[in-house]
Amino acid sequence: MKAARGSPQEGWGDRLRRAGGRLRAFFRKQPMDRELEEEIAAHIAMATDENIRNGMPPEEARRRAMVKFGGVEQAKEQQRESRGIFWLDTVLQDLRYTIRTLARDRGFAVIAILILALGIGANVVVFSVVNTILLRPLPFYNPDRLVWIAPADAQGLSGSTYSADAFEDLRLMNRSYEDVTGYFAFSTADNYKLMNHGDPKPVTGMQVAGNFFHVLGVSPEMGRLFTEEEASKGGGAAVLLAHPFWERQFGRDPSIVGRSITLDNKPVTVVGILPESFDFGAAFSPGTKVDIFTPVMMDDIRYEGNTLTLIGRLKPGGTLAEARAEATALFPQFYWGKRYPESKGNYKNARPVPLKEYISGKLRRSLVVLWCAVGLILLIVCVNLSNLLLARAAARNKEFALRSALGAGRARLVRQLLTESLVLAASGALLGLGVAYALLTYLAHQGSIALPLLSQVRLDGTALLWTVVITMTTAVLFGLLPGVRASRANVQEALKDGGHGATEGRRHESMRTALVVSEVALACVLLIGAGLLLRSFLKVLDVDLGFQPSSAATIKLDYDDGGSIAKRNAVLENVSRRIGALPGVEAAGLSDNLPLERNRGWGAPRIKGKSYKEGELPGAFVYIVSPGYFRAMGMPLRGRDFTWADTDKSEGAVVLNETAAKGLWPGEDAVGKMVVVNGKVDVRVIGVIADVKNLGVEEQPGWQMYLPMMGDWGPDGAYLVVKTRLPPAQLSASVLKTLRGINPNQPAVEFRPVQGIVDHATSPRKFFVTLVGAFAGLGLLLASLGIYGVISYSVTRRTQEIGIRMALGASPGDVQMGVIRKTLQMAALGIAAGAMLSIAMAQMIAALLFGTAPTDPPTFAGMPLLLVAVALLAGYLPARRASRINPMVALRNE
Amino acid sequence: MGDTKLDLLQGTLDLMVLQTLAALGEMHGYGIARRIEQVSGDEVLLNQGTIYAALVRLQQRGWIESEWGASENNRRAKFYTITKRGRRQLAEDTAYWQRLSGVMGRVLAMGNAGEPQ
């Protein structure tokens, strides 16, 4: 037997029919009410008739009939409840009522919605950024199977690269991966020029292993990927176009696939177009854009050193731990180059990490801090709104008392208030979504911020879901306290005298004071956090880079030396002299590499005749430069600069940085000493130069050496660097004209300030500091609003008391001081609590600070002072109003 | 029964209404209420008004139908009839109630030692 039920059994069809009936009834409310009324009237009339027939007097008959019926209104309500969608009725009623009340109190509604929009909007923006960079999977096929293979202690990209031989051995010998791929790590921006499409155009190309897109699981939007032949030498030159480049350069012309284009004077076949969703820069090289992809010819780079990064796709069922164990065993068996048998064992270790971890792992801490900061903002918003609602509830005491006297249940009142909070929060969320959308669109187009995946940030379904969650949470958080309080109000008290008794008012005020104190404390935490990060950022900007970026500008130089060193030297000297002679140019020089851009490590210089143990000397970062480069970059040099006579025919010359010079000859002057560089003996150290930040502004530079471009060191392209006091844009035309005069194929690349390179390097920190700073500012504003609200309310409430005191001889100054003292008390309490919390907070963000202690005294002193100042301002306005109270008016105004 | 009347179990009113309509044919709300009172011998606590919530429920499930008409005293009233589906439902529910009351009867008839008396 089934469980006992009192109700008739109901099948699915019945239930469905019933639901339909309810829905119909919901929309046919009035006709159904009318019918019911008629039916009830008939019922009572018939009952009365029957009673009269049984001999009752008509009046008694009707009374009895009514008693039997048992409450007409009750019966109606019962019927409505069972016929329609009762809760929806109530909700709609609450909504209508809410909108009416809010429309009446427009000032309050606008302020509340604005505050909520800022709080929710900021949260949505940060969530979207966090979601894009940290949470969302990479835009590749099964991205969680992809791993980045590099030494555990890799320093920058250079330390993460391997030779072609090692790459090929790994592909052959591993058992962990479906396949391994990689890309050439040392490409530079504008490294190709596109010809036969008007003026020669600079194009940024990336050389990738032939199987790169297969391994990532990126399929072309049109055409195909590279074939095996195209990936090996002599197999036909092929190129894949990135979607934005195809759009920009070829106007989405589909017929380009299969056609040939000219890159650097060579014909190359466009074999395919990559999909719009694939953005190489966003994932692997934040803040840069790549236009084209070509297969890297392993034979060309086989003896060029460690140039390939490694990316593997784990076999199905294979684990990361297995891959790690295998790497430890396998990598020592690889050769740097098989031509040199002794180079076996060059690679000590490698540690595969999930690709996602490699791309965004470094940012996790910063993003979490950002998320916390914006969460604090939301908390402050809640406290602020709670406070505003409490103030409003005080004014609405009577309304609620009246409604509760008329029979509204307490739950119903709380629900009404929660509906109000929800309406406010939802309106704020809508506005906030608009703000967030605008901000995110702006952020996605900030190509200069070096954050991975930022270009793919957008308002997606997850973000919308998050918006709904925080909106509901916010509404409940800020609506519950005032709701419960209002519903608890004493009906009789409130109705009797319409005023809040002194005790009631004081209790009310103390609750609001507590809210404001906590608001100030939260704002204080935010301000101190932002202050510490700001100080760090200023320290970073203040770092001695070893060069003067503000007065230098640079352009990528194109030249054709036909493979002859003598011809190259002639061309470069000509360029250097003619550019140097332009008006406004103070110095000009060339380098094949710029600081903070690309990584390149060579074996360190050695003292001639001295033998070193393996690993005794660190690698050295190499710049191949022309005379004048040091001056153009504003680098202080001890010794002499290179001259155009330092060619492959003359004595070898090298300039070392301080670190390398000290490393080789501790306590001695390196200038004039002889070293061995890259196997070349008898190279004279002609000068020593300041350390240059080359990997990052916040990193300690290692050994660096500068070799003359005029020698046979094989410069890898050339950047022209110009020192000028003019804005680069102003010089751009004459520089480009001069270069075109020398070489008509010079592409029209941008003449950019070197400062831009530094800004790019510091952009992630700037991004975080700007956001956290903005949140702190918002927190400060909200806290001051809160203080103003409470003080202002207390002045209004105490108008009579102040009037009496003034009538008894208190001066306006006394009154003003009294109000300000109260303000300061509140601020001081909040700041004290906030400062304590900040000490813990600062420890948590210590790893993000640069050159700033987590207990940085200026920050811990300055931010509270700022808060006090703002609190004073917020308290001053009501204080002034208090001091202008006219005792006569105040007392008469009973 | 004196002061204490039977409180109607949830859903029993619906069943009573169905049975009344099945037995007596077309009826208006007042008629149904009176009939139930008479049959129950005034033992159930029935606010006649509650009948209208039951009527709307049954109608929405499609077990009864209604039509406006004239009463014996020529008053305009809504008349209810049971539908075919309503009869089927009634048969099911009746069987269910009979089984339930049989079981309840046996259970309540047990002696203290748990033996049937």
Name the minimum distance, in Å, from the CA of A73 to any CA of chain B. 9
Place of tokens 């029919």: A17
Closest A-chain CA to B28:
A43
Name the minimum distance, in Å, from the CA of B7 to any CA of chain A. 13
The Cβ of residue A379 has, within 10 Å, a number of other Cβ atoms equal to: 19
Of B14, B78, B92, the CB nearest to A39: B78
Cβ atoms A307, A163 nearer than 8 A: yes
C-alpha–C-alpha distance, residues B117 and B113, integer Å = 10
For residues A36-56, one letter each, b for 16 or more C-beta atoms within 10 angstroms of the residue's C-beta and e for the rest, the string is beebbebbbbbbbbbbeeeeb
Whether residue B61 and residue A17 make contact (CB cut-off 8 A), yes or no, is yes
**Residues in chain B closer than 8 A to A35 (CB atoms):** 78
Whether residue B49 and residue A71 make contact (CB cut-off 8 A), yes or no, is yes
C-alpha–C-alpha distance, residues A849 and A841, integer Å = 12
Name the minimum distance, in Å, from the CA of B112 to any CA of chain A. 24
Whether residue A22 and residue B28 make contact (CB cut-off 8 A), yes or no, is no
Whether residue B12 and residue A6 make contact (CB cut-off 8 A), yes or no, is yes
Lowest mean pLDDT among A44-48, A241-245, A405-409, A478-482: A405-409
**Residues in chain B closer than 8 A to A50 (CB atoms):** 34
Whether residue A8 and residue B11 make contact (CB cut-off 8 A), yes or no, is yes
Q: From the centroid of its chain, how far is CA A494?
A: 50
Lowest mean pLDDT among A22-31, A185-194, A618-627: A22-31
Closest B-chain CA to A4:
B100
More confidently predicted of A705 and A77: A705
Residue type, A129: V
Residue A840 has pLDDT above 90, yes or no: yes
Chain A contact present for B106, CB below 8 A: no
pLDDT of amino acid A632: 94
CA-nearest of A424, A434, A436 to A384 is A424
Name the minimum distance, in Å, from the CA of B103 to any CA of chain A. 10
Chain A contact present for B9, CB below 8 A: yes
Using a 10 angstrom Cβ sphere, with 0-12 exposed, 13-18 middle and 19 or more buried, the burial of residue A115 is buried
pLDDT of amino acid A524: 94
Chain A contact present for B57, CB below 8 A: yes
Outline where A666-722 has alpha helix (H).
none
**Helix A754-797 vs helix A799-807: crossing angle, to nearest 10:** 70
Task: Give the ipTM of the model, two decimals please.
Answer: 0.85
Of A6, A9, A68, the CB nearest to B10: A6
**Residue pairs spanning A and B at CB distance below 8 A:** 110
Name the minimum distance, in Å, from the CA of A54 to any CA of chain B. 14
A466 to A376, A428, A429, A779, A885: CA distances (angstroms): 16, 14, 11, 22, 49
Residue A401 has pLDDT above 80, yes or no: no
A67 to A62, A64, B43: CA distances (angstroms): 9, 5, 17
The Cβ of residue A618 has, within 10 Å, a number of other Cβ atoms equal to: 15
Region A183-195: what's the mean pLDDT?
86
**Residues in chain A closer than 8 A to B50 (CB atoms):** 70, 75, 78
Place of tokens 């402050």: A380
**Residues in chain B closer than 8 A to A78 (CB atoms):** 49-50, 52-53
Cβ atoms A274, A218 nearer than 8 A: yes
Chain A contact present for B47, CB below 8 A: yes
Whether residue B49 and residue A49 make contact (CB cut-off 8 A), yes or no, is no
More confidently predicted of A168 and A7: A168
Cβ atoms A518, A383 nearer than 8 A: yes
Q: Which two tokens stand for residue A328?
A: 């430890």
- The neighbouring-strand residues paired with A511 are none
Region A338-355: what's the mean pLDDT?
86
CA dihedral A498, A503, A508, A512 (to 10 degrees): 140
Cβ atoms A132, A457 nearer than 8 A: yes
Lowest mean pLDDT among A117-131, A285-299, A612-626, A695-709: A612-626
pLDDT band at B1; cut points 50, 70, 90? very low
Region A329-352: what's the mean pLDDT?
86
Of B48, B73, B93, the CB nearest to A43: B48
pLDDT tens track for A63-110: 988 888 887 887 887 787 777 666 677 778 888 888 888 888 888 889
CA-nearest of A39, A356, A300 to B55 is A39
Residue A7 has pLDDT above 60, yes or no: no
pLDDT band at A1; cut points 50, 70, 90? very low
Region A245-266: what's the mean pLDDT?
92
Using a 10 angstrom Cβ sphere, with 0-12 exposed, 13-18 middle and 19 or more buried, the burial of residue A179 is middle
C-alpha–C-alpha distance, residues A683 and A674, integer Å = 5
C-alpha–C-alpha distance, residues A647 and A570, integer Å = 11
Region A188-203: what's the mean pLDDT?
85
Edge-to-edge strands, sheet with A177-181: A177-181, A310-314, A146-150, A351-354
C-alpha–C-alpha distance, residues A424 and A384, integer Å = 13
Instruction: Please list, in sequence order, all residues whose beta carbon lies within 8 angstroms of the beta carbon of residue A894, skipping any fewer than 6 positions away.
Output: A800
Residue A663 has pLDDT above 50, yes or no: yes
Region A402-414: what's the mean pLDDT?
73
Cβ atoms A736, A83 nearer than 8 A: no
pLDDT of amino acid A9: 55
Region A502-512: what's the mean pLDDT?
69
A318 to A146, A297, A321: CA distances (angstroms): 11, 30, 9
Whether residue B52 and residue A75 make contact (CB cut-off 8 A), yes or no, is yes
Whether residue B28 and residue A46 make contact (CB cut-off 8 A), yes or no, is yes
A194 to A185, A250, A746: CA distances (angstroms): 22, 12, 11
Give the DSSP letter of residue A181.
E
B47 to A78, A179, B2: CA distances (angstroms): 12, 80, 17
Chain A contact present for B71, CB below 8 A: yes
Give the DSSP letter of residue A138.
P
Residue B3 has pLDDT above 50, yes or no: no
Give the DSSP letter of residue B7.
P
C-alpha–C-alpha distance, residues A860 and A849, integer Å = 15
- Which residues of chain A are at the B interface, by a Cβ-Cβ cutoff of 8 Å? 1, 4-10, 14, 17-18, 20-22, 25, 35-36, 38-40, 42-43, 45-47, 49-50, 68-72, 74-75, 78-79, 81-83
C-alpha–C-alpha distance, residues A212 and A182, integer Å = 6
pLDDT of amino acid A534: 93
Cβ atoms A376, A837 nearer than 8 A: no
pLDDT of amino acid A496: 58
Q: Which two tokens stand for residue A612?
A: 């070193």
Averaged pLDDT of chain B: 83
Closest B-chain CA to A7:
B11
pLDDT of amino acid A467: 93
Q: What is the DSSP string of A398-466?
A: HHHHHHHHTT--HHHHHHHHHHHHHHHHHHHHHHHHHHHHHHHHHHHT-TTS--TTGGG----HHHHHH
C-alpha–C-alpha distance, residues A625 and A643, integer Å = 10
C-alpha–C-alpha distance, residues A701 and A704, integer Å = 8
Cβ atoms B45, B5 nearer than 8 A: yes
Lowest mean pLDDT among A434-438, A693-697, B52-56: A693-697
Closest B-chain CA to A21:
B60
Region A814-819: what's the mean pLDDT?
88
Cβ atoms A390, A790 nearer than 8 A: no
- The neighbouring-strand residues paired with B82 are B64
**Which domains can be identified in chain B, with CATH numbers?**
12-108 (1.10.10.10)
Whether residue B29 and residue A69 make contact (CB cut-off 8 A), yes or no, is no
Q: Which two tokens stand for residue A389?
A: 């609602």
Name the minimum distance, in Å, from the CA of A798 to any CA of chain B. 55
C-alpha–C-alpha distance, residues B78 and B75, integer Å = 10
